[in-house]
Amino acid sequence: MEALDEVSPIFKDQLTYSMMDISRPEGLERLKQVRKKLDRKPNVPSILMNEQIVFDFIPDSDTLIEAIRQRL
């Protein structure tokens, strides 16, 4: 989340994000939905954009910014 918190001001109202907390029931339910849609379990940590795994690690800020720009 820190990586997204850091870059989100650049995108103002164009970006929304949330953390999937798998220690909570709603997080586990979301994980099930993602697993079903992707037909696999995402690694932890992972960053998904538009329901697709883009990173299965935490990228540096420049890489994350570029990935977001490509999808906006």
Q: What is the pLDDT of residues 5-61, one digit of tens each?
A: 999 999 988 999 988 898 999 999 999 999 999 888 888 889 999 989 999 999 999
How far lies 50's CA from each of 24, 25, 69, in Å? Answer: 23, 22, 13
For residues 58 and 20, give the distance between their C-alpha atoms in angstroms, rounded to a whole number.
15
If pLDDT is split at 50, 70 and 90, which confidence band does 1 have?
A: confident
pLDDT, position 23: 93
What was the pLDDT predicted at 70? 96
User: Looking at residue 40, what is its pLDDT?
Assistant: 87
Q: pTM here?
A: 0.81
Sorted by where each begins, the domain ranges of the chain are: 2-71
